Copies of this chain bind each other. A is one copy, B any other.
Amino acid sequence: LDYQHVQVPFEITLWIMLASLAKIGFHLYNKLPSVVPESCLLIFVGLIMGGIIYGLNDKSPPVMDSDIFFLYLLPPIVLDAGYFMPSRPFFENIGTILLYAVVGTIWNVFGIGFSLYGICQVKAFRLQDVSLLHNLLFGSLIAAVDPVAVLAVFEEIHVNEKLHILVFGESLLNDAVTVVLYKLFRSFCEMPAIKSVDVFVGVGKFFVVGLGGVLVGLTFGLTAAFTTRFTKDIRVIEPLFVFLYSYLSYLTAEMFHLSGIVAIIACAMGMKRYVEANISLKSHTTVKYFMKMWSSVSDTLIFIFLGVSTIGENHEWNWPYICFTVIFCLVWRALGVLVLTFFVNRFHVNTITSKDQFIIAYGGLRGAICFSLVFLLPDFHRKKLFIAATTVVILFTVFIQGMTIRPLVDLLAVKRERESAPTVGEQIHIRFLDHLLAGIEDISGHWGQYYWKDKLEYFNSKYLQKILLREYDQPKSSIVLLYEKLERKHAIELAEAGQLGHAPSHPSLLNNNRTAITDKKLEDTLNPDVLENIQEILARNLYRIRRTGPAYNRHTLPGEAEPVEHAKEILILRHKSL
């Protein structure tokens, strides 16, 4: 027997196997996952495993290594989140998300930090030796909402899309703030004296860390898209590039102390549409499947490790400090959401209801990121107290909040996610409205989101697509792609039912067309000629509203206006409106 030789891969494989089998086990009994979130069950499995290891060895089980967490377990989850991020609601609410992620997190960090410092002044608690800086450092790691925990719970309760993207987007983007504040306070703790210059440098860092992450991510994302232009003869390694470039973007960002999470999200969102157009259908299935599989396993491992690491003797149970931490986390988050939403609602027509606000505040779950950060703290005499407080906060939010949020959503009758995907008709309407709004913004000289979206679309089709896509002369609109997907799915269904021969033939279709076309049956009843018409209308006309925009303008005849003149006109219009 030569166990030493194969130990490392053998144990890794066994852990992954345990995680996968645990997942199968939960799903065998359908009742359990509908009451208790999977994350709770996994932590529970981890607690039992930890207890067994502790009982057998009589020493603390190994804690989750922060390096393993940040380098190997976190990236797949974030990549999956970024790749499948619904970009429309994300960009529609980007302002609100950034407000929550940046201002909200800073608010929480300082709120929790200062209040805990206040608690430390109470002599009865024997906590006077915990300095303000240490409390702020602790606040910076405990304030951040965790994307892994949020995703695990919110994927199961199916709230409406806007609410979901607000909580989830915040949990992803607050990484930049957390990284900066955590590193800032940690370096302050080690400095003899703090100059006011350092504080200003710290504030400047927010932008560097966040925007730097976006830049690194986009660079790698576009390089990935460019690379997949040349994989036509060697389809089998196509999926690899998606993973390699995203991972490189994460590692590069971490290397330069930028936000890796922001980088990998920017990379995934940047490359997605080009990569999808370049790679084959099977490669794309593999990419999607493997991403889901990988993130699902990482997620499972993280929660099991969280459970395992909880057992042991790493904790200092000063209950007043721990209880007040939990209370302050809840209170400051609730206050923050209330105040920020008040401002958000003043500037938006589509306001955030008070029910939604409650769910946003209540959905602020903490998870493995806090846990890893607290173990990364430099050694000082109260580290074990911070570890204990972090553990309790995580268990409290995941177990109590995670288990009660579903009944609360039912009780409050929070608007749920719509059951079905939007129909083709709806998609055409949405697209049409976008272009209409872009036209309106253009005429009125208002530089709103539709204006910028339109500009970006123009830049994309004029330059980016030509560089990044293999067959750039035939850009297919998403509706045509959707139609093709439906058509393919339908064909497979027909083939599997053995009814390919029975498929409605050409003449019978035309008769049906005259009577009634319901949106849902569009793919069944649309004949290719009609389809081609729609395709042409969509691809040729709808897409170029902005480019043929001057037709809507009061001052020019169609085709006269040059882009420069056009910009001038907008300036003049804008000037007039002011």
Judged by a CB distance under 8 angstroms, whether A20 is at the interface is yes
Which of A98-106, A435-443, A490-498, A542-550 is found at the contact surface with chain B? A490-498
Q: Say which residue of B255, B286, B495 sits within 8 Å of A6 (CB atoms).
A: B255
Judged by a CB distance under 8 angstroms, whether A10 is at the interface is yes
Chain B residue, CB-CB nearest to A9: B71
As for how many copies of this chain the complex holds, the number is 2
What does DSSP make chain A's interface, helix, strand, loop or mixed? helix
Are A255's CB and B5's CB within 8 A? yes
A286 surroundings in chain B (CB, below 8 A): 285-286, 289-290, 293
Chain B's nearest CB lies how many Å from the CB of A531? 7
Are A495's CB and B484's CB within 8 A? yes
Which of A243-251, A402-410, A514-522 is found at the contact surface with chain B? A243-251
Q: Say which residue of B293, B487, B495 sits within 8 Å of A237 (CB atoms).
A: B293
Are B234's CB and A23's CB within 8 A? yes
The 8 A CB mask of A226-251 against B (1 = contact, 0 = none) is: 01001101101101110010011001
Are A509's CB and B503's CB within 8 A? no
Are A495's CB and B503's CB within 8 A? no
Q: Cα distance A505–B508 when bound, in Å? A: 11
Q: Cα distance A252–B285 when bound, in Å? A: 32
Judged by a CB distance under 8 angstroms, whether A569 is at the interface is no
Chain B's nearest CB lies how many Å from the CB of A185? 18
Are A293's CB and B240's CB within 8 A? yes
Answer whether A239 and B290 are a contact pair too, CB < 8 Å, given A13-B251, A230-B24, A501-B527: yes
- Listed by A's residue number, 12 A-B pairs whose Cβ atoms lie within 8 Å are A6-B254, A9-B247, A10-B251, A24-B231, A24-B234, A237-B293, A285-B289, A484-B496, A487-B500, A488-B492, A494-B500, A498-B528
Query: Given known contacts A2-B256, A9-B72, A282-B289, what 18 new A-B pairs fall within 8 Å (CB)?
Result: A2-B257, A6-B255, A9-B71, A10-B248, A10-B252, A16-B244, A17-B244, A20-B240, A23-B237, A24-B231, A24-B237, A27-B233, A236-B293, A236-B296, A286-B286, A488-B496, A498-B528, A498-B531
